[in-house]
Amino acid sequence: MVLDPQGVAVENSLIALGYKNVHKVRVGKYIELILTAENREDAAIQVEEMARRLLSNPVIEDFSCTLQEAGV
Amino acid sequence: MKFGVIVFPGSNCDLDVYYLVRDILKKEVEYIRHDAKTIGHSDLIILPGGFSYGDYLRSGAIARFSPIMAAVADFAAHGGLVLGICNGFQVLTEAGMLPGALYRNNHRQFRCEQVYIRVENAKLPFTGAAKRGDLLKLPIAHGDGNYYVPPDQLTELETNGQIIFRYTDQNGAVKAEANPNGSLGNIAGACNRAGNVAGLMPHPERAGTNALGSEDGLVIFNSIISYLQSREVA
């Protein structure tokens, strides 16, 4: 796992605030997007492909996706 | 002999490269827009420094899908020389044309200073005018220069001579204090397996005249010119 400089800064700050139980902080990205799909499976396939190709860099990042049905 | 400089929205060292090639090296040079489909008749492609597409998402992540990048990849696949400087290096790693990735400097600061890099492989088109172990004094200006490659791949890069430059102190010693960004193994520049695509974080194009503090950057450009000339003769 690569060093996360932002996570270290936040971790140090939390510890300075007195949260002595904190051992590891990692800062990531949260990307929200709306898309049209035939069904959940189709949506998952589309999103995972986007995550693999552009939204994440596999050399330094991992990703996970969650789906939620939007109102029509 | 013609140099081609790719211009992405947000590139800002394109002019530095253009100036160096035209006014100091006295060679032909042209800009190639990010939305062009072909690279024209260039013998060498340079991806310049800057903040392409605002470096949104990750440095170089969006630029690497620019229309011109398919032509650049095709040119490289046929043996063409491609050099990525700073943001250009980031674009090439994002595109998978170079190994590894460049992420946030370990100290979180943007660093703008002079550094020393040591030539680790002098048998490449980009370093032929140097000797192994030569030191170059070059400027850096980046926030995302922390080079990372998985451990197994690092061994492979070292074995294949794909690590071109490492940050050192002024005596040529690879030390943690001489590392401006936390880069693995003090790596400042790397190339692909074939040796025709290379990238580095320091700016050789901003070190082409002593008026700017150093002319060590010319070593890289003169290497490229000699290589292209020998290829023309052959």
Contact B174, B166 (CB under 8 A): yes
Does residue A36 sit in the same domain as residue A70?
A: yes
A41 and A69 assigned to the same domain: yes
The SS3 call for residue B90 is helix
One domain, residues A13 and A41: no
Q: How many pairs of residues across A and B have Cβ atoms under 8 Å apart?
A: 35
Residues of B identified as active-site: 86, 203, 205
pLDDT band of B150, cuts 50, 70, 90:
very high
Instruction: Report how many domains make up chain B.
Output: 1
Do A36 and A55 fall within a single domain? yes
In angstroms, rounded to a whole number, what is the distance separating the alpha carbons of residues A59 and B6?
25
Do A38 and A72 fall within a single domain? yes
Q: Is B126 exposed, middle or buried (0-12, 13-18, 19+ CB in 10 A)?
A: buried
| Separation of alpha carbons B14 and B31, rounded Å | 8
Q: List residues of A whose CB lies inside 8 A of any B CB.
A: 2-6, 9, 29, 54-55, 57, 59-60
Q: Which residues of B touch A55 (CB under 8 A)?
A: 57
Total structural domains within chain A:
2
Whether residues A50 and A62 share a domain: the answer is yes
| Alpha-carbon distances, residue B106 vs B52, B180, B186 (angstroms) | 22, 9, 12
Provide the mean pLDDT of chain B: 97
- Which region holds residue B213: left if phi is over 0, alpha if psi is between -120 and 50, else beta? left
For residues A46 and A11, membership in a common domain is answered with no
Specify whether A38 is located in the same domain as A68.
yes
pLDDT, tens only, B20-66: 999 999 999 999 999 999 999 999 999 999 999 999 999 999 999 99
Whether residues A35 and A24 share a domain: the answer is no
pLDDT tens per residue across span B57-75: 999 999 999 999 999 999 9
Assess whether A43 and A66 both reside in one domain: yes
Q: What's residue B97's pLDDT? A: 98
Q: Which domain holds residue A37?
A: 31-72
Set of chain B residues whose Cβ sits within 8 Å of the Cβ of A59: 93, 100-101, 148-150
Residue B140, domain extent: 2-233
Q: What is the CATH number of the domain that holds B181?
A: 3.40.50.880
User: Does residue A64 register a pLDDT over 80?
Assistant: yes
Do residues A72 and A38 share a domain?
yes
> What type of residue is B199?
G
